[in-house]
Amino acid sequence: MAANSESEKQTFRLFSSSTSLGLGFLDSSENPLPPTPPPPYLEVISTQISSSVKYTVEPVNLGELTLLKGRVNTQEVFGLSNSDLVPGKYEGGLKLWEGSLDLVKVLHIEVKNGNLSLRGKRVLELGCGHGLPGIFACLEGAAAVHFQDFNAEVLRCLTIPNVNANLSENIQPLETNEMNAGGEVRFFAGDWSEIHKLLPRVQSNEKNLNCSSGHSQVASYDIILMAETVYSISTLQSLYELIKMCTSSPHGVVYMAAKKHYFGVGGGTRRFLSLVEKDGVMASNLVAEVADGSSNVREVWKLSFR
For 225-281, what is each residue's pLDDT tens digit? Answer: 999 999 999 999 999 999 999 999 999 999 999 999 998 888 999 999 999 999 999
d(CA 35, CA 33): 6
Q: What angle do CA 245, 167, 170 make, to 5 degrees?
A: 110
Query: What is the amino acid identity at position 229?
Result: T
For 29-74, what is each residue's pLDDT tens digit? Answer: 456 556 567 778 999 999 989 888 999 999 999 989 999 999 998 8
| Burial (CB count <10 Å: 0-12, 13-18, 19+), residue 181 | middle
- Point out the least confidently predicted range of 41-50, 75-84, 153-162, 185-194: 75-84
